[in-house]
Structure 1
Amino acid sequence: MLPKAQPAIAALRERGLDATLLTGDLAQAAERIAALVGIKNVQAGLSPEAKRLALNRLRDDHGSVAMVGDGLNDGPVLAAADVGIAVGSATDLARETAALVLPADGLWMLPWIVDVARAVRRTILTNLMWAFG
């Protein structure tokens, strides 16, 4: 999964988006993984509730937040995110609470999903403009 994550994170950054790693793992391991994939912001040692609170702080600071997760403890956070995205190898709870489920090797799809969502939003706004104009 790591080889696919680095180009996906770089492509998201090119689109003006930032990534934060919220994990229950130990800080040393989390920082090593984050460095490998190009994530600068890391919050480690978090319980599921602490992840949800961190997600809410990110939303307050940056607006809408998408969450990508695969673990049992990611379920509540995926449900709380504006867009919850589970990877195909995720636990049943993560897959059930996410709005999108990617294939097991589908992290490369994240930038494409952002592009499609932005195009759909533009189309909706244009149609509304025509409808009310």
Structure 2
Amino acid sequence: MKITTFNPQIFTNDAKAVTRLFEELGFTKAHNPTGIGDLNVEGIRMKDANGFALDISQPEMQLPQDLVGIRINVDDFDEAYQLLLARGFKNVYGDRIIETGSAKSAMMISSTGYGINLVQHIK
């Protein structure tokens, strides 16, 4: 398994405010998919001139507070998923994997509470 992208991800109820903050810090929107998964997530991918990336996600459900996790894109989703499960991570969707036309993903939470959004882009 190879990691192809690794960056912070912010889960928020107010994606517009977070996006504005990072625009002021020099980031620009790269793309903005909507309606992702069961939680109908809006996803905003941002990058800066140095190539640093940030994802901002706003689910349809109300979050108790903003959360920060790590987005990890891999070339072998199944291998990475099994590795995380073997180390005690839980999928917030139970056993379900979110599949769109271009990616598959699972939001994995460690036993201590940090999150990894595991993603494989389908080429």
**Which TM-score bucket, shorter chain as reference?**
under 0.3
Greater fraction helix:
1
Q: Give the TM-score normalised by the residue count of structure 1.
A: 0.25
- Give TM-score scaled by structure 2 length: 0.27
Greater relative CO (CA pairs within 8 A, separation 6+): 2
**Higher share in strand:** 2
